[in-house]
Structure 1
Amino acid sequence: MHLDLSNNRLSGEIPADLGKLSMMSRALLSRNQLTGPIPSSVANIYRLADLDLSMNKISGPIPAQLGKMPVLSTLKLDSNQISGTIPASLLGDSGLNILNLSRNSLEGYIPDVFGPKTYFAALDLSYNNLKGSVPKSISSARYIGHMDLSHNHLCGRIPDSAAFDHLDASSFIANDCLCGWPLQTTC
């Protein structure tokens, strides 16, 4: 039920048939030297609540099916070589509580799919190549405990939102032209 192979020197690709481990609830494979794409078969693991593939050399896009998993609450893919866009299925009302996609090569826009059921204890999209504005729908999120959108190419006014009015400027610094509170720049 729990697979913890973190902090080893595992190399090679994640097996494509990992999704056959249907009873697994935690897959912790961080801090290895895994390469290749995230197998879409992972989305077949019905009970999977925690998936941590951080600090590897994983590449390719994020399978959109991950955002449709029924009990997945923690997804950590930070510090890899993941490219492509952020699947909208990860941000709306997916049920994810912790999402860390920082320190990758993600590009494109942050999907504008946040809603009144959106609840993140932590949302980290920092150190990518994201562009455009902070989505207006983020202001309708129920709660975002920690959010980091820093070190991207975002531009425009930061939406006003009680969901993240406790955040400081560090959540938004090092972007091309973001303005508004909590940054010290006016729009």
Structure 2
Amino acid sequence: MLLMLGLCFLLFSAFPLAFSERCHPQDKKALLQLQKDLGNPYHIISWNAKEDCCEWFCCVKCDEKTNRVISVALSSPFPDTNLSAQIPPSVGDLPYLESLVFHKFPKLVGPIQPAIAKLTKLKYLDLSNNNLSGPIPDFFAQLKNLDDIDISFNNLSGPIPSSLGKLPKLAYLDLSRNKLTGSIPASFGSFQKPGPAIMLSKNQLSGRLPASLANLDSDRIDLSRNKLEGDASMLFGSNKRTWSLDLSRNNFAFDLSRVEIPHKTLARLDLNHNKIYGSLPVGLTKVEHFQLFDVSYNQLCGLIPKGGELQKIDKSLYSHNKCLCGSPLSPCNHKQMTV
């Protein structure tokens, strides 16, 4: 009997971690408080206090070496989920968090939680498809490790804070489908290269683009469906890495013939419903393949350059211009050639 007890003692001593939790007590406490603050939504999360939080089936990830919680990803599988709350302050009590997701909760309301400013290791922030309101907070600029910000599909209002331009590692910024007003900050021309993908569509932004955006080198820029005006030619450039540029449904007015096309990378160009004038630049013929090309509803004129894919594009995507001509449109007459 004594021998068996001795063997059991040795067994438990040799493998102490096999019978203890990986999860840090502070992290577990914060997560359980988060669950409580959200009203214990069992159809989304059902974290059990008796279990190791690093082993919870849903929504939590721990670092393999430190065992600290590095990811909380809450997403509703049901469009009519009844979770009705604000983002709880307890989310700020997870100091090692690198990824935070609250996605697709139509009854998640209120402002972006100030406690998020405490998450200095945060790299990925997804608060999209909720019903958040209020301004975009300046404290984002304190989170120097942020790589990805998606706060699209909310009811956020007010201006875009210029402090976002100070984020040194930002690679993706999606502020689309909100109620943002004002102009695009000049600080967006200060992003470290390569610049982040910038998605600002379907807001109420207005005014002229700052000249500093000539320094912006992003693979995707979407400014569509706003009230922006004036010159946007600085967004073009032969040496830029632009893959997709969408300026559609604004009031931009500039001479398209003077822009330099990033033909090595460009695949999507949408300029429809603006006041863009001049002729189509020959550089468009060097683009190997267009996934999208639309210059309709502008004031363009002259011969569509021959070559590349320009003659293969549906003629409706050239329609409602001042006097564009040539294949795939009607042949040019003398007046169109001399305008």
TM-score interval (norm. to shorter): 0.7 to 0.9
* Contact persistence 1:107–1:130 (CA under 8 A): yes
Q: Look up the match of 1:82.
A: 205
For 2:273, the equivalent position in structure 1 comes to 151
Q: Which residue of 2 aligns with 1:21?
A: 143
TM-score w.r.t. the length of structure 1 is 0.88
Q: Is structure 2 residue 181 aligned with structure 1 residue 59?
A: yes
Quote the residue 2:241 is aligned against.
119
Aligned to 1:136: 258
Any idea what SS the aligned residue of 1:43 has?
helix
Alpha carbons 1:93, 1:118 under 8 Å: kept: no
Does the C-alpha gap of structure 1 residues 112 and 62 become closer, same or farther in structure 2, counting only changes over 3 Å?
A: closer
Name the SS of the counterpart of 1:41 in structure 2: helix
Deviates more, 1:134-143 or 1:4-13: 134-143
For the structure 1 residues 157 and 167, does the alpha-carbon distance in structure 2 shift closer, same or farther, using more than 3 Å as the test? farther
More divergent stretch after superposition (128-137 vs 11-20): 128-137
Could you tell me how far 1:165 is from its partner in structure 2? 6.5
1:72 pairs with one of 189, 192, 195 = 195
Match of 1:77, as an amino acid? L
How many angstroms does 1:177 deviate by? 3.9
Aligned residue for 2:83? none
Q: Is the 8 A contact 1:29 1:52 kept in 2?
A: yes
**In the alignment, structure 1 residue 33 sits paired with structure 2 residue 33:** no
The structure-2 alpha-carbon separation of the partners of 1:135 and 1:79, relative to structure 1 and needing over 3 Å to count, comes to farther
- How many residue pairs get matched? 186
- Aligned mates of 1:52, 1:118 — CA distance in 2: 20
Which shows bigger deviation, 103-112 or 1-10?
Answer: 103-112
Q: Does 1:103 align with 2:225?
A: yes
C-alpha separation between the residues in 2 aligned to 1:99 and 1:46?
A: 18
Q: Is the 8 A contact 1:155 1:179 kept in 2?
A: no
Partner of 1:153, secondary structure, is coil
Q: CA RMSD in A?
A: 2.3
Cα distance, 1:88 vs structure 2: 3.6
- For 2:34, the equivalent position in structure 1 comes to none
Kept in 2, the 8 Å contact 1:106–1:129? The answer is yes
- Contact kept? 2:147, 2:169, Cα under 8 Å: yes
Corresponding residue for residue 74 of structure 2:
none
Distance apart, 1:139 and its partner CA: 3.6
The 3 A distance-change label for structure 1 pair 169 and 76 is: closer
Kindly state the Cα deviation for residue 163 of structure 1 after the two structures are TM-superposed. 4.6
Q: How far has the Cα of 1:143 moved from its partner?
A: 3.1
Q: Is the 8 A contact 2:267 2:292 kept in 1?
A: no
Residue in structure 2 matched with residue 9 of structure 1 by the alignment: 131
Secondary structure of the equivalent of 1:144?
Answer: coil
**Distance in 1 between residues matched to 2:261 and 2:154, nearest whole Å:** 37
Deviations 1:141-185 (A, max 9, x none): 543210101110112211111454744995100113444324472
Q: Which residue identity lines up with residue 198 of structure 2 in the other structure?
A: L
The structure whose residues are more often strand, as a share, is 1
SS of residue paired to 2:259: helix
Counterpart pick for 2:295 among 172, 177, 181 = 172
1:113 to 1:124, Cα distance in 2 relative to 1, 3 A? closer
Compare relative contact order (CA 8 Å, sep 6+) and give the higher one, 1 or 2: 1
What SS class does the counterpart of residue 119 from structure 1 fall into? coil
Which residue type is aligned with residue 180 of structure 2? I
Report the structure number with the largest CA radius of gyration. 2
If each structure's helix is expressed as a fraction of its own residues, which one has the higher value? 2
